[in-house]
Amino acid sequence: MNEVDYSQLKIPTHVGIIVDGNGRWAKERGLTRLQGHDAGFENLKQLAQYILKRGVKVLSLYVFSTENFKRAEEEVNHLMDLFVIMYKKNLHFFMENNIKVVFSGRNEPLPPRVIKARDELVEATKDNAGGIVNFCMNYGGRAEIMDAVKKIAKSGIDVDTLADEDFRHYLYQDLPDIDLMIRTSGELRLSNFLLWLNSYAEFYFPKTKFPDFHEADFDQAIIEYTSRDRRFGGIKNN
Ligand code: IPE
Ligand code: IPE
Ligand code: MG
C-alpha cells in the first residue's frame, strides 16, 4: 500500500479510541475472549507510537470502563494482569519515545497491583514531552463529571466565577477537547467515554475489530477526518 502523505491532511490534536471488538475478534477465530484481549493489547503499542509520530499530541485509549467490572471474574482478572504487564513491560518504550503517560478513572475497585504499576509509570514518564497517552481505565464519563463537581464543591471557589471552559481543569486530566473519536468493531455508541471532551468530536466508526485495526486503518480515519467540515455551531468554514 502507498504511504499516505500526511502533509496534505488535517491532524487532530486529541484522538480518542474506544478499544472494542476483542471478544468478537477471538470468537471469529475459535479463540477465547482472553486471547482476544491479548491480541488487542499486542496491537496497542505500535498503534499508539504511530499515531503520536503522525503529529497527534494526545491519545486517549478507553481500555476498561467502570461498567466492565460486571464481566466474569476470570476476564476481569485477565485484563488486570494485562494492564500490569503492559505498564511494566513498556516503561522502556514510553521513555524511548518520550511519551508521557497519564490515567483517567477511579481507583476503587482496582487491585493494588494495577494501581502500583500505573503510578510507577506515571511517575517515570512525567517529564516526557513527545506526546501524551491517556489510559482511561476503570473510567466512566458520568463518574468523571460527578467527581469534578464534588472537587469544585469542596474547593470553596465562588462557582459564579466558573466559566464553561474552566470545568476541564477539574476533570481527571486537564486535556484539550477530543477532535477525532474512533470506536472500532462497528458499535455506534460512546459507552460513557470522555463525555465532557467529546462534545464537538468528529466520530468515526470502522467495522474493523481492534486487534485488526492497524496503521493503514488509522490513515483512513485521518483521511475521513480531513474531509469533515467542523462548524462548531458557526457558519461553513472552507
Ligand atoms: C474491548 O473488547 C476491550 C475491553 C472492554 C477491555 P470487548 O471485550 O468489549 O470485545 P467485544 O465487544 O465483546 O467483541
Ligand atoms: C466500552 O466497550 C468500554 C471499553 C472499550 C473499554 P464495551 O464493550 O464495554 O461497551 P458496550 O457494553 O458494548 O457498550
Ligand atoms: Mg465490547
pLDDT digits (tens, 9 = 90+) for 78-112: 999 999 999 999 999 999 999 999 999 999 999 99
Report the chain's C-alpha Rg in angstroms. 18
Please indicate whether residue 151, judged by its CB atom, sits closer than 6 Å to ligand 1.
no
CA distance from start to end of the chain = 30
pLDDT < 50 regions, the chain: none
What is the pLDDT, as a whole number, of residue 26?
Answer: 98
What is the pLDDT, as a whole number, of residue 3?
Answer: 84
Residue 70, C-beta contacts closer than 8 angstroms, at least 6 positions apart: none
Enzyme catalytic residues: 20, 68
3-state secondary structure (DSSP) of residue 60: strand
Nearest CA to ligand 1 atom 8: 23
Nearest CA to ligand 1 atom 13: 23
Strand order in the sheet with 180-183: 100-104, 132-139, 58-65, 14-18, 180-183, 202-204
What is the pLDDT, as a whole number, of residue 236?
Answer: 73
What is the pLDDT, as a whole number, of residue 2?
Answer: 66
Residue pair 206/217 in contact by the 8 Å Cβ criterion? yes
The continuous run of DSSP H or E covering 58 comes out as strand 58-65
Q: Which atom belonging to ligand 2 lies closest to the Cα atom of 139?
A: 6
Q: Which residue from 17, 19, 20, 191 has its CB within 8 A of the most atoms of ligand 1, so it is best to mutate?
A: 20
Instruction: Give the angle 208-172-113 at the CA atoms, nearest 5°.
Output: 75
Give the three cell numbers for residue 141: 464519563
- Cα separation, 151 vs 154, in Å, equals 5
What is the pLDDT, as a whole number, of residue 34?
Answer: 98
What is the pLDDT, as a whole number, of residue 237?
Answer: 58
Max CA pair span of the chain? 58
Ligand 3 centroid–CA 69 distance in Å is 13
- Cα separation, 100 vs 126, in Å, equals 6
* Amino acid in the structure at residue 156: G
> Could you tell me which of 118, 117, 124 has the C-alpha nearest to residue 94?
124
CA dihedral over 185, 186, 189, 190, signed as positive or negative: positive
Instruction: Give the angle 197-42-142 at the CA atoms, nearest 5°.
Output: 25
What is the pLDDT, as a whole number, of residue 74?
Answer: 98
- Cα separation, 94 vs 124, in Å, equals 9
> Could you tell me which of 90, 105, 85 has the C-alpha nearest to residue 38?
85
